[in-house]
Amino acid sequence: MSYIPHTDAERQQMLSAIGVTTIEDLFEAVPAGHRFPSLNLPEAMSEMEVMAELLAFAEANEHSQDFVTFRGAGAYHHFIPSVVNHIISRGEFYTAYTPYQPELSQGTLQVIYEYQSMMCALLGMEAANASHYDGATSLAESVTVALEVTRHKRNKIILSHSIHPQYREVVRTYHQGNPTLRFVGDRGRADIPDLIDMLDDNTAMLAIAYPNFFGQIDDLKHLADKAHAVGALLVMVVNPLAMGMLKSPGELGADIVVGEGQSLGIPMSYGGPYLGFFATRQQYVRKIAGRIVGETVDITGKRGFTMTLRPREQDIRREKATSNICTNQGLMSVATAVYLSVMGKAGMKQVASLNYHKAHYAAQQINQLDAYEVDMSKPFFNEFMVKCPASVQQINNQLLNEGIIGGIDLGEYYEHLRGVMLLAVTEMNTRDEIDGLVSALEQIAKE
């Protein structure tokens, strides 16, 4: 909680503590020409004019409503049942503020509890919070938990290079204040056997992606046993939609499961807000940050819900806190709870199956083109790598002319994958759209 000074002496004391003498000193970094009263603001506009201008700005973007999209890498174009927006637009759910008073917040608390329960069922885990800011933040928080579990006696964190590159950068930034922490495994091209060889008695955790950043599904059957044999935690970064058809991380022995929940009822929204899910074994539940809601009974024996296992230090005694996760993307967890409840087990299996089979159809068709080569070395879910006959940027520019948003350029993240495109196919892509992509790629190669 913030403290507001009430007297001039208190204000001066606070300014002095941060090395300035006046409030104006805090704005010296802003050029004088961009400070009040020198602001060069446009003339006032009516509400109608403002809406027209904003709409023009919005329509200047290339988005999935106007273009066919085959881009993924963490943000995907999935179907969202209309009921999701109807529910989260209700006033009682619209605020993400932490429900401190259970007697006033039973609706919000029950939704969070249902979200936690469904995520645990989907991931095969025993406890979940609700939630973190995004998938990258969740992975960074798993490092904090691993260090707490091993009582900070270990300082080695193994990160697979096939985890989303931006996630790995967030993890390093998040923990840059710990000079003794060592991150290994992600700066090269280490495969699963290589990561296993890196395990030792100084390893706090091993993190891998499932499916990985390239859409591939690695054989993780004995990985948990290898990690646990040296006393390390196994962390899995998962695509939750793929869990509709793949063996759950819990069945594979994961200790912590994290990832991005955007594919579960949340629109791409130009990059956010998103939802970072975090699930773990019961034995580690007291180590995790974020909201945790439990089921209980009131004094009359009626079923009720309340926040539990939550240290107040997380909010007001920051020097004792393990994380600053407080009020967060609560609305996004509500959206995911609605999505999962509407889809159910059968719906999740159907969507996962559509993603899998449509992606494989697209991959097979592209692989038949003489100028392109699809990586079929491992099984994959809804994303796959395509080696292109020209630069990915050049091909994407030409695809845009055909009304198609192509995949991402893996060469931007991996030096050895220059000229390789990562394409994503979801249930939203029709067969005609996939055939159109294949035809466009073939024509581009000829030109």
Are 296 and 362 in the same domain? no
Domain end, chosen from 292, 313, 340, is at 340
Distances (CA, A) of 218 to 71, 138, 199, 360, 378: 22, 22, 18, 17, 7
CA distances from 136 to 14, 183, 224, 248 (A): 34, 15, 22, 20
Q: Are 127 and 264 contained in the same domain? A: yes
* E runs forming strands in 281-419: 293-297, 303-307, 373-374, 383-387, 404-405, 408-409
Q: How far is Cα 129 from Cα 115, in angstroms, rounded to an integer?
A: 9
Q: Do both 334 and 387 map to the same domain?
A: no
Residue 49 lies in a domain: no
Number of Cβ atoms within 10 Å of the Cβ of 289: 23
What pLDDT, on the 0 to 100 scale, is given for residue 329? 66
57 lies in some domain: no
Say if residue 319 is in the same domain as residue 398.
no
Residue 38 belongs to a domain: no
Residues β-bridged to residue 233: 205
202 and 98 share a domain?
yes
Q: Are residues 217 and 86 in the same domain?
A: yes
Q: How far is CA 374 from CA 359, 383, 396, in A?
A: 12, 11, 17
Identify whether 275 is part of a domain. yes
Helix axes 330-367, 106-123, angle to 10 degrees: 30
Q: What 3-state class would DSSP assign to 405? A: strand
- Domain check: are 222 and 367 in the same one? no
What is the phi-psi region of residue 342: left when phi exceeds 0, alpha when psi lies from -120 to 50, beta otherwise?
A: alpha
Cα 279 to chain centroid distance, Å, stands at: 13
Cβ within 8 Å of residue 80, ≥6 positions away? 265, 266, 267, 339
Structural domain contains residue 50: no
The structure's pTM equals 0.88
Q: Which residues contact 298 (CB under 8 A, 6 or more apart)?
A: 304
Q: How far is CA 394 from the centre of its chain?
A: 29
Task: Please give the Cα distance from 278 to 292 (Å, whole number).
Answer: 11
Q: Are residues 86 and 185 in the same domain?
A: yes
Q: What is the CATH number of the domain that holds 421?
A: 3.90.1150.10
Q: Among 289, 305, 340, which residue terminates a domain?
A: 340
Same-domain status, 125 and 214? yes
Q: Which pLDDT tens digit goes with each residue over 71-90?
A: 999 999 999 999 999 999 98
- Give all strands of the β-sheet with 276-280 in edge-to-edge order: 127-128, 276-280, 256-260, 233-238, 203-210, 156-159, 182-184
Nearest to 366 by CA among 418, 425, 427: 425
Same domain, 393 and 258: no
Q: How much is the pLDDT for 113? A: 96
Task: Say what the pLDDT of residue 103 is.
Answer: 86
Say how far apart CA 75 and CA 215 lie, in whole Å. Answer: 13
User: What's the pLDDT at 258?
Assistant: 98
- Angle formed at CA 105 by CA 82 and CA 94, multiple of 5 degrees: 35
Domain membership of residue 132 (yes or no) is: yes
Q: Which residues on neighbouring strands pair with residue 259, listed in sequence order?
A: 277
* Exposure b/e, 263-284, CB count within 10 A at least 16 = b: bbbbebeeeeebbbbbbbeeeb
Please report whether residue 185 resides in a domain: yes
CB-based contacts of 123, cutoff 8 Å, min separation 6 = 238, 240, 243, 248, 249, 250, 257, 277, 279
Q: Where is the domain boundary, 305, 321, 340? A: 340
Q: Do residues 393 and 424 both lie within one domain? A: yes
pLDDT of amino acid 42: 85
Q: Going residue by residue through the chain (447 aa), what tens digit of pLDDT does each one get?
A: 456 666 888 888 888 898 999 888 888 888 888 888 878 788 899 999 999 999 999 888 877 888 999 999 999 999 999 999 999 998 888 776 778 788 888 999 999 999 999 999 999 999 999 888 899 999 999 999 999 999 889 999 999 999 999 999 999 999 999 999 999 999 989 999 999 999 999 999 999 999 999 999 999 999 999 999 999 999 999 999 999 999 999 999 999 999 999 999 999 988 888 999 999 999 999 888 888 899 999 889 999 999 888 655 555 666 666 676 655 568 899 999 999 999 999 999 999 999 999 999 999 999 999 999 999 999 999 999 999 999 999 999 999 999 999 999 999 999 999 999 999 999 999 999 999 999 999 999 998
What CATH number has the domain bearing residue 90? 3.40.640.10
What is the Cα–Cα distance from 279 to 141, expressed in whole angstroms?
A: 11
Single-letter amino acid code for the residue at 161 = H
**Tokens for 169?**
């950068």
How confident is the model at residue 328, as a pLDDT? 54
Beta bridge partners of 208: 236
**Is there a domain that residue 22 lies in?**
no
Range of the domain at 109: 82-340
* Number of domains forming the structure of the chain: 2
304 and 191 both lie in a single domain: yes
